Amino acid sequence: MIYIVLSIFCSVTVAMLLKLAKRYQISIIQAVTINYLTVIVLSLLFFKPDFKVINSSAPWPIYIVLSVLLPTIFLFLAASVKHLGIVKTDIAQRLSLFIPILAAYFIFKEDFNQLKFIGLGIAFLAIILTFLRKTEAQSKSNKWLYPIMVFIGFGVIDILFKQIALHKELPYTTSLFVVFCLSFLVSIIIVATMVIRKKTKIQLVNVGCGLILGVFNFGNILFYLKAHKALASNPSTVFASMNLGVIVVGTLIGIIVFKEKLSKLNYLGIALAVCAVILITLSQLNAV
């Protein structure tokens, strides 16, 4: 269980760092780029990828799509944290499980039980209530697009990573390393383009923030994988604990530390999000 706790801590810390980025005038794209460089180095140390199995038969189209999606959605994640706070962003990220589950039903034709249908219905309602704004003026703001993109983006990313996991001839950690390398290249291209167009300047503070971000981003991945390995016979426990933990801890940090304002309907949405994760987890247990 210690690995789950550490993974939750790292995940929430990433959100906190993105929240603090505005205060210290951090260039998110520069920090994200250094973040991927840090993750690549740590992947080499901890995952020890097998370069011999990386060949033309690897799922390169999926690698390439992920390499574009990851840094892009990271920017939407940062924008969502900045404009709407940690609470709503964490809810959007965690309830993105809604998308791969729908894909499993409509695309991959998996059987669904009643609990999963109920869980999905509650998750949908939770999303609506969590993002409701207090006034008409606020509701017209385009800021709601950020968590929606986080929701959709992480859902699609989850589907693609699950497709990678189906390639049993390739170690999953080796595929992760390839995706991180390609994501770093995409981020470099974005930063270079922005520097050439004089829309940003390379600053040392962004490098420092990126290093810290990369350590916690990798820690989230490493401990989550270790939790699944340690609790191999209970993957649903890891799934539920991780999602519920991030929702609860992220909510407490957002409200207590960053004084984020939530309406009664938002609180109801958070409670329903917790219920949705529990029901979806129970549905997976019943399916086994």
- Write 48-53 long-range contacts (CB < 8 A, 24+): 48/173, 49/171, 49/173, 49/174, 49/177, 49/178, 50/171, 50/174, 51/174, 53/169, 53/170, 53/171, 53/174
CA-CA distance, 192 to 30, in Å (whole number)?
Answer: 10
The torsion region of residue 109 among left (phi > 0), alpha (psi -120 to 50) and beta comes to left
Q: What per-residue confidence (pLDDT) applies to 200?
A: 84
Tell the residue number behind the tokens 């709503």, with chain if given. 88
CA-CA distance, 90 to 155, in Å (whole number)?
Answer: 13
- In order along its 288 residues, the chain shows pLDDT tens digits of 899 999 999 999 999 999 999 888 899 999 999 999 999 999 999 999 999 999 999 999 999 999 999 999 999 999 999 999 999 999 999 999 889 988 888 887 777 888 889 999 999 999 889 887 655 444 445 788 899 999 999 999 999 999 999 998 899 999 999 999 999 999 999 999 999 998 888 899 999 999 999 999 999 999 999 999 998 888 888 988 999 999 999 999 999 999 998 999 999 999 999 999 999 888 877 655
- Give me the sign of the Cα torsion angle 85, 266, 274, 97: negative
Give the domain ranges of the chain. Answer: 2-287
Distances (CA, A) of 65 to 130, 131, 153, 179, 282: 29, 28, 12, 9, 32
Q: What per-residue confidence (pLDDT) applies to 136?
A: 43
Q: Are 3 and 242 in contact (CB under 8 A)?
A: no
Q: Are 112 and 179 in contact (CB under 8 A)?
A: no
Which residues touch 4 (CB under 8 Å, ≥6 apart)?
223, 224, 227, 238, 241, 242, 245
